Structure 1
Amino acid sequence: MDKEKIVTIEDRIPKLKAQRKQKANRRIIMYLSFFFILMLVIVYFQSSLSDVKKIEITGNRTISEKEILATAHIDRHSAFLNLSKQEIEDNILKNKAIASVEVKKAFYNTLVVTVKEYRKAAYVQKKGRYYPLLESGKLLRAMKGKSLPTGEPIVSSYQSEKQLLPLAKELSKLPNSIYQRISEIQLPSNEQEKNFKVEMFMSDGYEVKATIHALAKKMDSYPSIVQQLGPHRKGVINMDVSTYFKEYSKEEVQKK
């Protein structure tokens, strides 16, 4: 048998010293790294590095970014990590024109805000001013200046604001091909009536009388009715209970 190799204590001392030195070095590096990271965190939170660097807003068509930021209560001096996405979303939804909102945080200190606006169903005319009526039934502030609205029908008269919500919901269901033909709307009903009446003046020269209830469904047949009548016969298309047509007299045509 080979003789066992004998290692003396004197031979092992340098190795023990080297191992202890390595452990001490690792401990120092760990402490220094922790201290350095701690300093970075303190510097980050105490400096402008922690501020929001970029705010991206998408989906807004009629509401300005400035208005959305004001409602959200955020700006470029807000601390990024302290921002609550849920709180920002709740604040933005206080704007009556916003249907939904999603807030995301992205690198580096970027806030991404995606909004969806309610569609405008019509404009309500009151005392010479025009108020956007949303598909949710809510009225926004009046348009600035004296400009006339374009693209949406105008509710020129109504008896109660209770009529506006069901009207807005039905208008939002209409296909664009029919919706674009509506020029003016009048709501002659009073609050006591079970079904609110509606009178619509179309851009192609017809007048439609119906009830707001199930208006969108009734209006599905409008294009085919107009096609059957031909371009020279104008009058009132009544869709209240049963659908029938009453042609204008010569005096009515001249008056209109």
Structure 2
Amino acid sequence: MQKVIEIKERSSTLIERRKKKQKRNFIILLVLLGIVLMFLLYFQTPFSHIGKINVDGQKIETEEYYIKHSGLSTGDSFWRFDPKEVQNRLKNQPTVKSVTVERSWLNEVNIQIKENKHMAILKTGDRYNYVLENGELLSSRTTVNQTNLPILLDMPDRKFRTKLVKQLKRLDADILLMISQIEKPKNTTNSNLVQLYMSDGFEVKVNVTNLASKLQYYPSIVAQLGSEKKGVINLEIGGYYNTFKLEYK
């Protein structure tokens, strides 16, 4: 009799466990179905599409320029683009030094731009191009706004221009501001030589490969010469000074 009672109790326990397990499985299924339904509903709402594209850090080009070249548009799927691909597209733009692209709550995309700076202005005939710190040129224009930048005269070779810009980047700001124009001198066998026309009336000849290290001494050289002794300071090999009369006789 006791065995029969034990069997019945065990059977009741098993049935109860089975019911609890079925109930738990049913709840899990409902939750999963609910999640799937939420996803389906989400992708039918405006929140699953790009609602706004924010661009920050731009100064040279406009916000609209970078949005256009990102390949993104409001209304595009918020999840069907790869931020790295967008970054690579933007890095192909000459003004872009670095960029990050991130999704933001709820349906916004943030683009953070770091631009290559203007380092000089290239003058070719009556056309002007801004020269960026990576040596690239911006589209030509007839007028320029930044008159404090050195003007490069007829310097079409990009490799040479890039070497020059790298040296200009290393200069102290006060010395860079003193450079009015730069050109490659004619009638010279030295392909690395450049001639600088300074705002204080002096001229400087120096190799582009060590322009920054040589030009750091310019203020002290001028101080020793005196402002009334205008002429040419040659830093190509060592350093010496000639009056304009002696240099161009």
Q: Does TM-score exceed 0.5, indicating one fold? A: yes
In structure 2, C-alpha distance between the alignment counterparts of 1:166 and 1:13, rounded to whole Å: 88
Q: 1:29-64 CA deviation, whole Å, 9 max, x = no partner?
A: 333322221111112223322112343322222121
Q: How many Å apart are 1:113 and its aligned residue?
A: 2.0
Counterpart CA distance in 1 for 2:160 and 2:189 is 11
Identify the residue that residue 150 of structure 2 maps to in structure 1.
153
Q: Percent identity, aligned pairs only?
A: 30
Is the contact between residue 136 and residue 158 of structure 2 (CA under 8 Å) also seen in structure 1? no
Distance 2:9 2:158 in 1: 99
2:161 matched residue in structure 1? 164
Aligned to 1:66: 64
What's 1:93 paired with?
Answer: 91
1:36 aligns with 2:30: no
Counterpart for residue 137 of structure 1: 135
Structure 2 runs not aligned, ≥5 long: none
State the 1:112 CA deviation.
Answer: 2.6
SS in 2 for 1:140: coil
Instruction: Note the 1:178-193 alignment, pairs <5 A.
Output: 178-188=175-185, 193=189
Write the mapping of 1:1-256 to structure 2, written as runs, cut at 5 A.
23-143=21-141, 146-158=143-155, 160-188=157-185, 193-249=189-245
**Conserved? CA contact 1:89–1:101, under 8 Å:** yes
Say if 1:159 and 1:189, in contact at 8 Å, map to a contact too.
no
C-alpha change, 1:189 and 1:158, in structure 2 (3 Å) is: farther
Q: TM-score, normalised by structure 2?
A: 0.83
**Deviation at 1:89?**
1.0
Equivalent residues, number: 244
Letter in 1 for 2:160: Q
- 3-state SS in 2 of match to 1:138: coil
Cα displacement string for residues 223-252 of structure 1 (whole angstroms, at most 9, x for unaligned residues): 111121223222211111121122345xx9
SS of equivalent residue, structure 2 residue 106: coil
Cα distance change, pair 238–159 in 1 and its aligned pair in 2 (3 A): farther
Distance of 1:220 and 1:156 partners within structure 2: 23
Measured after TM superposition, the shift of residue 122 of structure 1 is 0.6
> Which deviates further from its counterpart, 156-165 or 118-127?
156-165
When residues 240 and 52 of structure 1 are mapped into structure 2, their CA distance, relative to the original with a 3 A threshold, is same
AA partner of residue 76 (structure 1): T
Q: Distance in 2 between matches of 1:66 and 1:240?
A: 46
Secondary structure at 1:122 match in 2: strand
Provide the C-alpha distance between the structure 1 equivalents of 2:144 and 2:158, rounded to a whole number of angstroms: 24
Instruction: Give 1:151 shift.
Output: 2.4
Secondary structure of the residue that 2:205 maps to in structure 1? Answer: strand
- Quote the RMSD (CA, aligned, Å): 2.9
Unaligned runs of 5+ in 1: none
